[in-house]
Chain A
Amino acid sequence: MENEIRVGRVPARHEVEGEALLVVDDLRTSFAVAAGSVKAVDGVSFELYRGHTMGVVGESGSGKTVLSRSVMGLNTSANATTTGSVLYAGDQMIGKSSKEKKILWGAEMAMVFQDPMTSLNPVVTIGRQLTEHVRYHLDMGKKEANEVAVALLQSVHIPEAEKRLDNYPHQMSGGMRQRVCIAIALACGPRMLFADEPTTALDVTVQHQILNLLAEQQRDRAMAMILVTHDLGVVAGRTDDIMVMYAGKAVEKAPTGELFAHLRHPYTQGLLWSIPKVTQAKHTRLNAIPGRPPNLIDPPSGCKFAPRCAYAQDICRVEEPTLRSIDTPDHVFACHFPVGTPEGEEAFARNVASDYPPALAAVGKLRASEEVVG
């Protein structure tokens, strides 16, 4: 499906039907810091097809943002090391120089960031920020580029687009700014869009509008999209697949419907249970996950989620589980005692019976002041 606003690039250059646009294999990114090496992404693999959306879910510090930055090759600081393989349309991204990547950034893959205020330059007009890479990648003149910019602003539903070109970011509301950021990301017709917590800084009403806009643009342009968020409520109903990350690893990965129907990893369950729902009565005790994500310099041995896990047994603290499947081959998870299986339920019941704090938290019986431990 081509869109008239999509300009410049000849479509369907490399893509062959049925071949993944993005193949990530054993991607690892670490940052050298004084205290050691922070393994922010620790062996993540996935595939993404054109026109598909993948949600990446996890808490702060789970590595989801570093993952998308690593795929795009944006971790250019001197202390960052990225290994593994990222094949974009058959082209290896790892090891490309910044100069080579610059040709791809904006034109082939683009990113929408969390905070629309800080990702726009406050002293440059919207028009100039929109036309900057249109002129760079597509070699357009000023007038032509301005016409493209107006069309782009209209496509993200910004009223009076012509007038907006001379505006500065502070003259727009948060939702409008995020629309501008999306327009900038879409300007050169990328085939791969990363949206890193695009609505976390916004109101629920605006969040809904922005997510709908992203979905609409993704459909119209048949882009592949990675939607990074900490809220399972945001990705439900808007993604084809979901990958749940914890401590730099993918702990569960499945098609969206399958994940919600048969979630297997206790962490996924914990995330889902933490969300207050409008259908619950007021003052419903939330089944919080106690503690917080581990220190990635010196993570716990065995399963990294074990100290916070309501299902954890002795083996979990020693042996790290690997990704496996029991339902369908495309639903994988890394857990010794999966949710909804006899061994998992048994482990959970055992932990509740022995007053193990994470298990008590999962049944809403732990005092909130004790939820920090772990």
Chain B
Amino acid sequence: MAGSGTSHLRPADEVLLQVTDLVVEFPAGRGRSVKAVSGISFDIAPGETLGLVGESGCGKSTTGRAILQLPKPTSGSVVLDGEDLVSLDSKSMRQRRTRLQMIFQDPISSLNPRRMIGDVVAEPLNVWGPKDKDEQWNIVARILDQVGVDPGPARYKRPHEFSGGQCQRISIARALVTDPQLIICDEPVSALDVSIQAQILNLLDDLKTEHGLTLVFIAHDLAVVKNISDRVAVMYLGKMCEISEADELYEHPAHPYTELLLGSSPVPDPSIDVNDVRVIEGELPSPLNPPSGCRFRTRCPLADERCAAEEPIMRRVGEDHFVACHHPLIEPWPDDATIATPVALGSNQNGGSPTV
């Protein structure tokens, strides 16, 4: 996996956000550095929801934050609406922030416990919106109503007076008040009960339709991601494995990692024998010292010498379906649209029969 390459990117004028060769490194002491994200590329069309899936430590949250320049990526470009955010100085970046918002995992700790809800949600307006308090409240009340929080009683309450699901609705309201173009949702439902999770997923879907929102939805639960996303990108150890239209990815996973992830998702059906499911053994290798070649090879059932020597490049396996694997579970398309990969098609199927 460890996929590099940009063959899956669409023309720049069709997309709202284009991220190319994004690298984020963190110093790890003694002159070493952790490559949390090492060269990933993707794009998002206006009104689209991109799901980012992977295990803890795969770099999905770092990717989300790097889009917002929090922190600035080590290298690569993040182009929003034709403008590269990476090259902006901090003052110009600050002006672009209204167009980008974020929703975090823990709804309770992402709201200041000492401030009243009316003020929390109005805060972005204090910076960029109308300064008149009544005008602010009109906007805040309208948005709170849209997310299902009764604005009147909520205005003077504090976060501890609300449940986790309500707090997440308030966080969503706060993200919406500046009328952003893109919202990064970092595991927004992972801390919630299944019943509340369903309410929030429905809410995001409704809001997306009403506001024409473009979302990046980060999560580790594949079923949740499928429900909300138009396209899904699977990440592993700082690299992109597979990116595809959502239904296609789940019906015909092309990357062995995606297939194994799918098997791990709990299914509420007792007739499925949980022992029949192939599980991913072991743990994520350290990003300080990632495996050579394909990064998934240490846990991959199909790995061979080639995977250790050579990093796979994104190849097209379907209309809107790309995979970075030497032994994809679906036959890749001929090398026309893809970056030249001198691979004979017949030789990369050893052991891997297409699983449908």
Q: Do A and B bind each other?
A: yes
A372 and B272 CA atoms in complex are apart in Å by: 34
A204 and B193 CA atoms in complex are apart in Å by: 15
At the interface with chain B, which of A10-18, A41-49, A233-241? A233-241
Chain B contacts with A in 212-260, Cβ cutoff 8 A: 220-224, 226-230, 246-247, 250, 260
At the interface with chain B, which of A75-83, A182-190, A279-287, A329-337? A279-287
Judging by beta carbons under 8 Å apart, are A368 and B148 in contact?
yes
Judging by beta carbons under 8 Å apart, are A277 and B279 in contact?
no
Judging by beta carbons under 8 Å apart, are B226 and A280 in contact?
yes
Chain A contacts with B in 330-374, Cβ cutoff 8 A: 367-372
Contact partner, A272, options B199, B263, B268, B274, Cβ 8 Å: B268
> Binary interface profile of B, 321-352, with partner A (CB < 8 Å = 1, else 0)?
00000000000000000000000000000000
Q: A272-B268, A283-B205, A369-B206 are in contact. List 20 more A-B contacts (CB 8 A).
A: A173-B283, A204-B261, A205-B260, A205-B264, A205-B280, A206-B283, A208-B277, A211-B274, A212-B279, A236-B272, A257-B271, A260-B269, A260-B270, A274-B194, A276-B221, A282-B246, A282-B247, A289-B195, A290-B199, A367-B206
Known: A237-B274, A369-B203. A284 touches B193 (CB 8 A): no
Judging by beta carbons under 8 Å apart, are A276 and B227 in contact?
yes
> Binary interface profile of A, 226-253, with partner B (CB < 8 Å = 1, else 0)?
0000111110111000000000000000
Tell me if A144 counts as interface (CB < 8 A to partner B): no
Report chain B residues within 8 Å CB of A215. 274
Tell me if B152 counts as interface (CB < 8 A to partner A): no
Known: A274-B197, A276-B227, A286-B227. A281 touches B247 (CB 8 A): yes
Q: Which residue of the partner chain A has the closest CB to B55?
A: A203
A170 and B57 CA atoms in complex are apart in Å by: 15
Q: Which residue of the partner chain B has the closest CB to A260?
A: B270
Contact partner, A372, options B166, B201, B268, Cβ 8 Å: B166
Tell me if A323 counts as interface (CB < 8 A to partner B): no
Across chains A and B, the number of contacting residue pairs, with CB separation under 8 Å, is 171
List chain A positions with a Cβ less than 8 A from chain B.
59-60, 173-176, 203-209, 211-212, 215, 230-234, 236-238, 256-257, 260, 270-278, 280-290, 292, 367-372
Q: Which residue of the partner chain B has the closest CB to A284?
A: B227
Q: Which residue of the partner chain B has the closest CB to A259?
A: B270
- In the complex, what's the smallest C-beta–C-beta distance from A339 to chain B, in angstroms? 15
Q: Which residue of the partner chain B has the closest CB to A371?
A: B199
Tell me if B145 counts as interface (CB < 8 A to partner A): yes
Report chain B residues within 8 Å CB of A60. 164, 193
Contact partner, B266, options A204, A260, A271, A368, Cβ 8 Å: A204
- In the complex, what's the smallest C-beta–C-beta distance from B50 to chain A, in angstroms? 12
Report chain B residues within 8 Å CB of A59. 193-196
Judging by beta carbons under 8 Å apart, are B279 and A208 in contact?
yes
- In the complex, what's the smallest C-beta–C-beta distance from A228 to chain B, in angstroms? 13
Contact partner, A212, options B149, B193, B260, B275, Cβ 8 Å: B275
Judging by beta carbons under 8 Å apart, are A204 and B264 in contact?
yes
- In the complex, what's the smallest C-beta–C-beta distance from A207 to chain B, in angstroms? 7
- In the complex, what's the smallest C-beta–C-beta distance from B321 to chain A, in angstroms? 14
A192 and B198 CA atoms in complex are apart in Å by: 34
Report chain B residues within 8 Å CB of A275. 194, 198, 223, 268
Judging by beta carbons under 8 Å apart, are A286 and B198 in contact?
yes
Q: Which residue of the partner chain B has the closest CB to A367?
A: B206
A282 and B229 CA atoms in complex are apart in Å by: 7
Known: A211-B274, A367-B206. A260 touches B268 (CB 8 A): yes
Judging by beta carbons under 8 Å apart, are B199 and A368 in contact?
yes
Judging by beta carbons under 8 Å apart, are B198 and A236 in contact?
no
Chain B contacts with A in 135-191, Cβ cutoff 8 A: 145-150, 163-166, 169
Tell me if B202 counts as interface (CB < 8 A to partner A): yes
Judging by beta carbons under 8 Å apart, are A285 and B268 in contact?
no
A-B contact pairs, 10 of them (CB 8 A): A231-B194, A273-B198, A275-B268, A277-B268, A278-B262, A282-B247, A287-B198, A368-B207, A369-B148, A371-B199
Q: Which residue of the partner chain A has the closest CB to B266?
A: A233
Tell me if B353 counts as interface (CB < 8 A to partner A): no
The 6 A-B residue pairs with the shortest CB-CB distance in the complex, in nearest-first order: A233-B266, A368-B203, A369-B148, A288-B198, A368-B202, A274-B198
A271 and B222 CA atoms in complex are apart in Å by: 18
Report chain A residues within 8 Å CB of B145. 369
A292 and B193 CA atoms in complex are apart in Å by: 10
Q: Which residue of the partner chain A has the closest CB to B272?
A: A237
Contact partner, A175, options B198, B227, B228, B283, Cβ 8 Å: B283
Contact partner, B163, options A230, A233, A292, Cβ 8 Å: A292
- In the complex, what's the smallest C-beta–C-beta distance from B108 to chain A, in angstroms? 12
Report chain A residues within 8 Å CB of B272. 236-237
Q: Which residue of the partner chain B has the closest CB to A238?
A: B274
A76 and B62 CA atoms in complex are apart in Å by: 42
A277 and B222 CA atoms in complex are apart in Å by: 9
Judging by beta carbons under 8 Å apart, are B205 and A368 in contact?
yes
Known: A282-B229, A282-B246. A204 touches B202 (CB 8 A): no
Judging by beta carbons under 8 Å apart, are A237 and B273 in contact?
yes
A233 and B204 CA atoms in complex are apart in Å by: 23
- In the complex, what's the smallest C-beta–C-beta distance from B178 to chain A, in angstroms? 19
Report chain B residues within 8 Å CB of A207. 264, 266
Report chain B residues within 8 Å CB of A292. 163, 165, 195-196
A206 and B56 CA atoms in complex are apart in Å by: 10
Judging by beta carbons under 8 Å apart, are A372 and B169 in contact?
yes
Tell me if B265 counts as interface (CB < 8 A to partner A): yes
Task: Choose among B149, B196, B284 the residue with the greatest number of A CB atoms under 10 Å from its CB.
Answer: B196
A238 and B268 CA atoms in complex are apart in Å by: 11
A368 and B203 CA atoms in complex are apart in Å by: 5
Q: Which residue of the partner chain B has the closest CB to A273?
A: B198
Judging by beta carbons under 8 Å apart, are A372 and B264 in contact?
no
Q: Which residue of the partner chain A has the closest CB to B250?
A: A278
A256 and B147 CA atoms in complex are apart in Å by: 36
Report chain B residues within 8 Å CB of A371. 148, 199, 202-203
Report chain A residues within 8 Å CB of B127. none
Known: A278-B265, A282-B247. A204 touches B222 (CB 8 A): yes
Contact partner, B269, options A230, A237, A276, A370, Cβ 8 Å: A237
Report chain B residues within 8 Å CB of A231. 194, 266, 268
Tell me if B267 counts as interface (CB < 8 A to partner A): yes
Known: A237-B272, A257-B270, A368-B206. A205 touches B228 (CB 8 A): no
A215 and B279 CA atoms in complex are apart in Å by: 15
Q: Which residue of the partner chain A has the closest CB to B273?
A: A237
